[in-house]
Amino acid sequence: APFLVLATQNPIEQEGTYRLPEAQLDRFLFKINVEYPNLEEEINILGREQQLENKSKMETVNTFLSAEKIVSFQKLITQVLIEEHLLKYIAQIIVSTRSNPFLYLGASPRASISVLKASKAFAAMAGRDFVTPEDIKKAAIPVLHHRVIVTPEREMEGVTSKDVIKQIIESTEIPR
C-alpha cells in the first residue's frame, strides 16, 4: 500500500507555532496555502455542518481513492516522458536557488526530484504522456516555496519565497 502523509500547518505568527526544520520541510512534496473562505463558501460550510449534526462524522467519510488506484496512478506517472533538455531546465532552476542573493537557503536535490515528479503528474492530469515547460513552471512554486528561505533582509522588505521563485523561473531560459 502507498504511504502518504497530509499535514496542516498553522501560520507561524500564531502563538505556540514553530517552524519545521529544513530537513523535515524538504520531505513534503507540496505546500499549498488555503485562504479563508468567502461569504458564499462560509455559508455552504455552515449548511453542510447543519446537515451532519445528527450523523456520526465517520458515517459521512467516503473512500475517495483505493490504495490500488493510487498505486496505478503512481505507475502511470512514471511512464510520462520528459526530454533531456527539460531535465536540464529543472536542474537550472534548482541550481539558481542556491546562488540567488535573495535566498539564505536554496533547494536540495530532493527538490529537483520533486519538481520532476510533480511536472509528470501535471502532464498526466492534462492528458499527456510527456512533460512541457509549462508543467515545470506550474510545479515549481508549490514544490519549492516551502523549501527555500529568503534572507532576513529581503524578508523584512516583504519579499517572499514565491516572489524569488517566480523571478528565477522568468529569468531561466528553457534549453533547446
pTM: 0.83
Q: Say whether pLDDT at 100 is over 70.
A: yes
Among all chains, which residue has been given the C-alpha cell 520532476? 116
Domains within the chain, CATH numbers bracketed? 64-171 (1.10.8.80)
Cell of 64: 475517495
**Pairing outcome for strands 103-105 and 149-150:** antiparallel
Whole-number pLDDT of residue 57: 63
Per-residue pLDDT tens digits for 35-79: 899 999 999 999 888 887 767 666 667 788 888 999 999 999 999
CA 122/CA 67 separation, integer angstroms? 20
Per-residue pLDDT tens digits for 107-123: 999 999 999 999 999 99
